[in-house]
Amino acid sequence: MALKLEELGVDSIEAGFPIVSEGEFRAVKSIAREVSNSEVIALARTRREDINKVIDADVKAIHIFIATSDLHMRYKLRMSREEVVEAAVNAVSYAKSHGLTVEFSAEDATRSDPKFLVRVFQEVVNAGADRLDIADTVGVMWPSKMASLVRFVRENVRGGNYLLSVHCHDDFGMAVANSVAAIEAGADQAHGTINGVGERAGNAALEEIAAAVRFLLNYEVGIKFEKIKEVSDLVSKLFGIPVPPNKAIVGANAFSHESGIHVHGGVLSNPLTYEPIDPGSVGMSRRIVVGKHSGKHSIVYVLKSMGIEPRDDLVNAVLRRVKELGDMGIRASEEDISRIVMEVLNHDDRLN
């Protein structure tokens, strides 16, 4: 998967959390050895043993995190604000002393006191942090609020020439929207996962963020979009998690059209009428789906693709059968369409 992500053109691959297990450590070390065009970064808490394990994994970048919300500090960390600041600064300083590129994440940043969040960020920038990350750990942000927080951090954390990242979860279905809003507001980087896989409701889907930033915001990104579908399919297979048909960008229905109005009135004459981008640009194909909402033009299209002359009587007969199936709650598959066409043709031959 790491090699496929490298082919896709991602800037940075978070390969794992080396302290978790020996297997995880070996995996991170192997990925760091094999991947050369993308940065390989490994995760660590602010503990020195975590950082040492990352160093031993031979990666050149580390992602250090600690929670900054009062809720997390009190009930999970059982640490005061001062202790959290000290732990963060010491961890960043130690990692930098070993020559690592450091990204520092404030876990649960979006439920943190903004002034305290800025204080922590400023302290770690002073200690040498190369990147800061605003983590929406439980997905409670919405786009306008995320944009405001990004601007607040930008305006108040000084010096260091740091890059600003966001890490969004999808608990309220806004991870991608929050990520895109953050970039538009001045964030330099967004964390994402292929197909949005992740804890609970998942993370922001990388393919959706990249497509929105490229095709809607018109920003240049390094992603090779024609490979997105291939990588999505691989992740789905390896994780055992099917891609929902209506999933944006890579779902089976993302560029499928059934409505007769859409097909006749637009797609067949100019695809841009009902497609925001060319499906081929993201490794997908256009599909004209035949169902109860289809019109004659869809049947004509299907017949021509089968190499069959679309006579009016044939088109009407096939369309009638398709709509009958639709009224029964049955959606005609490609095999069903082929069978119906053959049955109608055979019936006509018998009559002749």
Cα Dmax for the chain: 91
**pTM of the complete model:** 0.86
Strand, helix or coil for residue 98:
coil
Q: What are the E-state strand segments in the chain?
A: 12-16, 39-45, 61-67, 101-107, 131-136, 163-168, 189-191, 256-257, 287-288
Do the Cβ atoms of 255 and 279 come closer than 8 Å? yes
pLDDT of residue 263: 47
Do the Cβ atoms of 6 and 184 come closer than 8 Å? no
pLDDT of residue 261: 42
pLDDT of residue 348: 61
User: Which residues sit opposite 169 in a β-bridge?
Assistant: 203
| Cα distance between residue 138 and residue 179, in whole Å | 14
pLDDT of residue 272: 65
Other CB atoms within 10 Å distance of the CB of residue 286 = 16
Question: Which residues, including other chains, have CB under 8 Å from residue 248's CB and lie 6 or more apart?
Answer: 205, 208, 211, 254
Structure tokens at 309: 């002359």
DSSP string, 166-217: EEEB-TTS-HHHHHHHHHHTT-SEEE-BGGG--STT-B-BHHHHHHHHHHTS
Q: What is the 3-state secondary structure (H, E, C) of 107-157?
A: ECHHHCCHHHHHHHHHHHHHCCCCEEEEEECCCCCCHHHHHHHHHHHHHHC
| Cα separation values, 42 from 60, 104, 261, 267, Å | 9, 12, 50, 45
| Cα distance between residue 185 and residue 246, in whole Å | 29
| Cα distance between residue 42 and residue 58, in whole Å | 10
Identify the H or E element spanning 93: helix 81-97
pLDDT of residue 81: 98
pLDDT of residue 260: 45
Question: Which residues, including other chains, have CB under 8 Å from residue 185's CB and lie 6 or more apart?
Answer: 146, 147, 148, 150, 151, 154
| Cα distance between residue 247 and residue 185, in whole Å | 26
Do the Cβ atoms of 137 and 162 come closer than 8 Å? no
| Cα distance between residue 185 and residue 178, in whole Å | 10
Q: For 262, how many CA atoms within 13 A lie in the half-sphere containing its CB?
A: 17
Cβ burial, residue 248 (10 Å; 0-12/13-18/19+): middle
pLDDT of residue 254: 86
pLDDT of residue 350: 57
Q: What is the DSSP letter of 269?
A: T
Q: How far, in whole angstroms, is CA 67 from its chain's centroid?
A: 24
| Cα distance between residue 103 and residue 132, in whole Å | 6
Other CB atoms within 10 Å distance of the CB of residue 101 = 17
| Cα separation values, 186 from 54, 77, 296, Å | 30, 31, 49
| Cα distance between residue 135 and residue 167, in whole Å | 5
| Cα distance between residue 183 and residue 212, in whole Å | 11
Per-residue pLDDT of the chain (352 residues; tens, 9 = 90+): 999 999 999 999 999 999 999 999 999 999 999 999 999 999 999 999 999 999 999 999 999 999 999 999 999 999 999 999 999 999 999 999 999 999 999 999 999 999 999 999 999 999 999 999 999 999 999 999 999 999 999 999 999 899 999 999 999 999 999 999 999 999 999 999 999 999 999 999 999 999 999 999 999 999 999 999 999 999 999 999 999 999 999 998 887 766 544 444 445 556 666 778 888 899 988 766 676 666 666 777 777 777 777 788 887 887 888 778 778 776 666 677 778 878 877 776 554 4
